[in-house]
Amino acid sequence: MDMLIQFAYVVSAALFIFGLKKLGSPATARRGNTISAVGMLVAIVAALLDQGIVDYQWIAIGFVAGGAIGAAAARLVQMTSMPEMVALFNGFGGLASLLVGWAALSPDAGTFTLITIVLSILIGGLTFTGSLIAYGKLSENIGSGAVLFSGQQVVNSLIVLGILGSAVMFCLQPGDMHWLYVVVGLSLVFGVMAVIPIGGADMPVVISLLNSYSGLAACAAGFAVDNNILIVAGSLVGASGIILTQIMCKAMNRSLANVLFSGFGSGKVEATEVEGEIKPISVEDAYYVLEAATNVAIIPGYGMAVAQAQHVVKELCELLEENGAEVNFGIHPVAGRMPGHMNVLLAEADVPYDQLLEMDDINPRMENVDVAIVIGANDVVNPAAREVESSPIYGMPVINVDMARTVFVLKRSMASGFAGIENPLFYKDNTRMLFGDAKESIGGLIREFS
C-alpha cells in the first residue's frame, strides 16, 4: 500500500506540473486547470490513505461544505469581483497552512520540524491578513491608496525582530507556547503592515506576490507534516507566483523592493498642467469613423469589467471584421486588478486567442492602426509614462495608443484611474471621448452597424 501511495504522489506531482504548463497559454488554460484538479484529487485520496485511521465523517462534512462554497462562488461571483475572490483564496490558503502547521505540533518534534512549523505559521498568518487588506483595497471597502506614516519602516523592523526573536525562543523552548502565540500575533499584524503601504497600480503585483506566499506557506506545512506532495504543490505555487510577480514588475519598470516599500504615488510631485481640450464624440459620429477603418486595436481595462462589456465587445469585433477591418486586442500585463484579468474576461466572451496581443506585440503596430478603442483603461495607456518625468508612473512601459491615427476613449467621466493620475491622452488632438457606460456605448455602435 505504501508503494501505491508514493506512486500516486508521483502521478499527482506530474499532473500538477503538466497542468501548470498548460496554464501558460489562454488556449490550453481550461485543460490545464482540469488536469491540475485531477492531480489534486489524486493527492487528497492518497494523503487520506496514507494517514491510516481517519474520521471520514469530518472529511465528508468538509468536502460538502467546501464544495458548496466553491460552487456558489463560481456561479455567483461576478467577473468584476474576481480579483477580490483571488485575494480571499490566497488568504484562506495561508490560514489553512497556519492551522496545519499548528496541528503538527507534538512533544517529540525535532528542531527541523519546529522550524518548518514556525515558518508555516508565520507565512500563513502574513498571507491571511495581507490578503484581507488586499481584498478590502480591491473592493474599495477601505481606501485603495498607499497608507504611510512617520516611522513606518521602524515599526515594521521591530515587528520582524519580534517575530525572529520569538521564533528562536520557541524552537529553543517548545514547551512554552507563549512564544508561539507571539509569533502568530505578530505575523498577523505584519501581514497588515506589509500591504497597507501598497496601493494604486501596484495591486496586481500584490495579488501575485500573496499567491506566492500562500504556496510557500503550504510548502512549509508540507515539511511540518512530512508530506511530499504538499511540499511539491506548495513549491510550484510559490515559484510560479514569484515568476509572475517579477514579470509584472518588469512590465511596470519597477523593482519588487520599490513596489513593496515605496508606497505608490506617495511622494510629492509637481503639478503638471495638461494642455489641450476634451473633444467628446457621439456614437453616430464614432460609427462613421469605425466604418471607414481597416485596422482597429481594442485596449481593455478594468472599466470593461465594471460595465461587463466583454460580450458586446466581441460582437463589435465580429461586425468590424465583416466590414473588412483587422481587429486585435492589446493586453497590458497589469491591466485590471489581478494578473491576467483581461484575458479571463475576453476568454469568457470567446474572443479568439490569436487576437490577444501582448504590449510588446501591439506597440510596433500602433502607428498603422486607424482607430484605437480604449475601454475603461487609464494608467496602462497613459503617455505621461513617457513624457512627464514628475509622474509616479514615469518609465513604466505603456500601450502607445496615442500613436494611432484616431483614439476613442470610452469612459463614464473624466475621473482618474485606479492610480489616481491625470492622463494627457484625453487631451490629445487625435483623441475623442465617448462618454457613458461602455456596454451601452458599444451597444449603440453595434446598432449603427446593424
Same domain, 89 and 202: yes
Of 221, 236, 267, the domain-final residue: 267
Share of the chain above pLDDT 90, in %: 51
Position 278 in a domain = no
What are the tens digits of pLDDT across the range 121-179? 999 999 999 999 999 988 878 877 778 888 888 999 999 999 999 999 999 999 889 99
Same domain, 196 and 251: yes
Position 230 in a domain = yes
Same domain, 247 and 320: no
Alpha-carbon distance of 217 to 24, in angstroms, equals 23
Is 379 assigned a catalytic role?
yes
What are the tens digits of pLDDT across the range 295-348? 999 999 888 888 889 999 999 999 999 999 999 999 998 887 777 888 888 888
Position 275 in a domain = no
Same domain, 363 and 422: yes
Position 273 in a domain = no
Same domain, 295 and 235: no
User: Is the distance from CB of 15 to CB of 229 less than 8 angstroms?
Assistant: no
Q: Which amino acid is at 431?
A: T
What are the tens digits of pLDDT across the range 434-444? 999 999 999 99
Same domain, 302 and 186: no
Same domain, 306 and 328: yes
Position 4 in a domain = yes
In this prediction, residue 201 has a pLDDT band, given cuts at 50, 70 and 90, of low
Residues in the chain: 450
Same domain, 238 and 289: no
pTM of the model: 0.80
Q: Which amino acid is at 191?
A: G
Mean pLDDT of the chain: 87
Alpha-carbon distance of 91 to 124, in angstroms, equals 8
Position 12 in a domain = yes
Same domain, 59 and 127: no
Collapsing DSSP states into helix, strand and coil, what is residue 114? helix
Alpha-carbon distance of 331 to 168, in angstroms, equals 47
Of 23, 57, 76, the domain-final residue: 76
Position 315 in a domain = yes
Domain hosting 17: range is: 1-76
Which set of grid coordinates corresponds to residue 265? Answer: 504615488
Give the β-pairing of 295-300 and 326-331: parallel
Alpha-carbon distance of 161 to 343, in angstroms, equals 41
Of 76, 99, 129, the domain-final residue: 76
Same domain, 331 and 425: yes
What are the tens digits of pLDDT across the range 211-248? 999 999 999 999 999 888 999 999 999 999 999 888 88
Same domain, 34 and 141: no
Give how many domains the chain has, as a whole number: 3
- Among the listed residues 379, 402, 429, 437, the single catalytic one is 379
Position 201 in a domain = yes
User: Is the distance from CB of 97 to CB of 218 less than 8 angstroms?
Assistant: yes
What are the tens digits of pLDDT across the range 20-48? 999 877 778 889 999 999 999 999 989 88
Same domain, 101 and 245: yes
Residue 270: predicted pLDDT = 46
CATH value at residue 406: 3.40.50.1220
